[in-house]
């Protein structure tokens, strides 16, 4: 083994040795295709977000060719749905290939490419309708606002394409299980399978809504729509969607980060149990997004509030395991005192710093989520900017900042290039700028939301009402936060292009970091890999939480169904 093979490519104490492992070119191209398209969506969505923040703060007025709600829809759809889905699937492919014998099966790769093309076609179709101002229905596409049928058909293609992508992961995993009988599956692959199972269960709700309600209605085949039912189906999907975003971030925190900090995975059982709990309890809880809506009895809302609170436990288990991993890694390097291990962590390496900053921001984000899901406190914050601020702390910080950290090592591994010291410093500046922008934007949204500032509305002083005027200073701060976030996105995209095409080439790029499990931990019980059991339990929970209220909503009198509404 050559000395170069042991060369450490980490910064400030991070341990990322050079490696001779190389992705198959076909697999690398597949993963890069997903990442590149996600970055295009990130740029367009961020641009829409910048304009939206400046308009909302009163800094600019849009030209007649653009509408605020058009930008709001583009921002939500391109970032919350398109960027995240493409990036997550690309990241999961990379870890599945790395941990399941180093190469994707040809049949799985075929499913993966079909999934990519379907999602690509659907995204382009939906994006065109947004650009032509035929689909300003926000990312929740709430009825009775009606978009062009091509917008909904595009969404169907994105959903079906993502199912194809799931099949690609399942095929590789099932093949590995058949050829490695009696062995415990690699933790990354296990978590990838859990994430896509959650995704399929969750998207069934929105698929039913789009295919059986929105598409026929938008084509004029049905004159009216059952609004209450369509919203219930959307939030059946809308809440577990949050965990579809979060679980890949958890994978990075649980599996990849320990390798970077010279630590070991705290437990091989706890992360698997955590992901099972997320599958069980993140789906039957959507009604806590509808606590102020009519048509659903208080009993079913309260039941789902209780189930929502159970999701707090796997989140706390994750926090315990991650902090434990950090402390053990620091103490193994000679740390003394109660908190001396913190100084041993590689704060000067963006591959560690970015996800840790995202973890810290998850603390206020999670606390805000508990407020949102609380029956009484939801009355105060519902439909205010508080909710938008929570959304930005959760998705745009805890998740997206982790995705930035992943990109800084995944891209060089795929392209066989080097994360240079300059690129690492750029990443640190970009991550800190992102946190600064998000503190100004997200935290201020929470504050002004408590003062009553509504969400989903453009700039207005409401005839110079005193209360509305008191919001203005906060909106100026939010606008500045939006500018900082856009600059951070541009820095990230600059770094991504550099790492793809211009960074120094190497035969031995930094390794794909996969943490080793602590030898002292016990093997996980085999029951955790009995997916049929956990899916069956999830189905039972979903039926308990949803069967009766959905049946009631289906009985809504036809006379109360709504005709299409177009406000733009």
Q: Which residues are annotated as catalytic?
A: 239, 243, 390-392, 455-456
CB atoms within 10 A of CB 548: 13
Cβ contacts of residue 127 below 8 Å, gap of 6+? 44, 74, 77, 78, 154
Q: Which residue has the tokens 């870890």?
A: 95
Cβ burial of 43 (10 Å; 0-12, 13-18, 19+) is middle
Contact 71, 127 (CB under 8 A): no
Give the whole-angstrom CA distance, residue 388 versus residue 69: 15
Cα 124 to Cα 66, 71, 131, 216, 387, distances in angstroms: 19, 16, 10, 21, 29
Q: Which residue has the tokens 């290039």?
A: 417
Q: Is 545 left (phi over 0), alpha (psi -120 to 50) or beta?
A: alpha
Rg (CA), the chain: 23
Phi, psi of 494 (to 5 degrees): -60, -45
- Indicate the SS3 state at residue 325: helix
Cβ contacts of residue 120 below 8 Å, gap of 6+? 37, 161
Cβ contacts of residue 306 below 8 Å, gap of 6+? none
Phi, psi of 505 (to 5 degrees): -75, 155
Give the closest residue to 5 by CA, choosing from 16, 22, 23, 17.
17
Give the whole-angstrom CA distance, residue 102 versus residue 25: 12
How remote is the C-alpha of 554 from its chain's centroid?
31
Contact 85, 162 (CB under 8 A): yes
Q: Residue 111: in which H helix or E strand, if any?
A: helix 106-131
Give the whole-angstrom CA distance, residue 19 versus residue 24: 15
Sign of CA dihedral 416, 422, 428, 434: negative
Cβ burial of 347 (10 Å; 0-12, 13-18, 19+) is middle
Cβ burial of 66 (10 Å; 0-12, 13-18, 19+) is middle
CA angle 200, 204, 208 (to 5 degrees): 160
- Bridge partners, residue 18, by sequence: 510
How remote is the C-alpha of 373 from its chain's centroid?
19
CA angle 177, 181, 182 (to 5 degrees): 115
Give the whole-angstrom CA distance, residue 382 versus residue 127: 29
């Amino acid at each position: 083994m050559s000395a170069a093979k042991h060369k450490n490519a980490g910064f400030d104490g991070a341990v990322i040795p050079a490696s001779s492992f190389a992705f198959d070119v076909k697999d690398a191209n597949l993963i890069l295709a997903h990442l590149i398209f996600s970055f295009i969506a990130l740029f367009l969505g961020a641009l829409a977000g910048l304009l939206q923040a400046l308009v909302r703060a009163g800094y600019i007025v849009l030209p007649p060719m653009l509408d605020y709600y058009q930008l709001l829809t583009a921002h939500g759809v391109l970032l919350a749905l398109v960027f995240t889905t493409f990036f997550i699937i690309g990241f999961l492919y990379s870890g599945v290939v790395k941990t399941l014998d180093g190469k994707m099966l040809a049949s799985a790769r075929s499913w993966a490419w079909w999934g990519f093309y379907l999602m690509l076609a659907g995204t382009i179709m939906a994006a065109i309708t947004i650009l032509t101002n035929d689909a300003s229905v926000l990312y929740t596409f709430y009825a009775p606002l009606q978009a062009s049928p091509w917008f909904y058909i595009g969404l169907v293609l994105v959903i079906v394409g993502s199912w194809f992508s799931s099949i690609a992961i399942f095929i590789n995993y099932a093949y590995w299980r058949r050829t490695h009988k009696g062995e415990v599956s690699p933790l990354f692959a296990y978590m990838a399978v859990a994430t896509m199972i959650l995704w399929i269960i969750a998207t069934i709700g929105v698929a039913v809504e789009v295919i059986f309600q929105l598409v026929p209605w938008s084509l004029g085949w049905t004159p009216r729509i059952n609004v209450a039912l369509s919203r219930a189906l959307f939030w059946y999907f809308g809440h577990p969607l949050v965990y579809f975003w979060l679980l890949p971030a958890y994978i990075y925190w649980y599996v990849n980060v320990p390798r970077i900090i010279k630590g070991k995975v705290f437990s091989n059982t706890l992360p698997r149990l955590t992901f099972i709990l997320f599958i069980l309890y993140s789906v039957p809880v959507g009604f806590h997004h509808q606590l102020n809506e009519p048509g659903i009895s208080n009993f079913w809302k309260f039941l789902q509030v209780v189930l929502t609170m159970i999701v707090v436990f796997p989140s706390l288990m994750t926090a315990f395991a991650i902090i434990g991993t950090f402390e053990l890694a620091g103490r193994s390097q000679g740390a003394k005192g109660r908190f001396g291990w913190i100084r041993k962590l590689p704060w000067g390496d963006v591959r560690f710093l970015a996800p840790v900053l995202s973890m810290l921001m998850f603390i206020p984000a999670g606390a805000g989520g508990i407020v949102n899901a609380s029956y009484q406190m939801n009355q105060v914050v519902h439909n205010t900017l508080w909710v938008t601020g929570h959304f930005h702390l959760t998705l745009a910080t805890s998740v997206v900042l982790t995705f930035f950290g992943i990109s800084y090592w995944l891209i060089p591994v795929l392209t066989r290039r080097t994360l240079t010291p300059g690129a690492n410093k750029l990443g640190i500046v970009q991550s800190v700028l992102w946190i600064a922008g998000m503190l100004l934007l997200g935290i201020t949204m929470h504050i002004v939301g408590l003062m009553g500032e509504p969400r989903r509305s453009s700039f207005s002083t409401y005839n110079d009402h005193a209360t509305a005027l008191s919001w203005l200073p906060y909106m100026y701060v939010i606008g500045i936060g939006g500018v900082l976030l856009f600059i951070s996105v541009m820095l990230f995209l600059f770094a991504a292009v550099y790492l793809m095409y211009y960074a120094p080439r190497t035969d031995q790029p930094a390794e794909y970091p996969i943490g080793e499990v602590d030898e002292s931990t016990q093997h996980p019980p085999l029951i955790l890999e009995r997916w049929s059991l956990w899916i069956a339990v999830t189905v039972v929970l979903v039926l308990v939480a949803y069967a009766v209220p959905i049946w009631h909503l289906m009985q809504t009198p036809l006379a109360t169904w709504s005709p299409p509404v177009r406000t733009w």
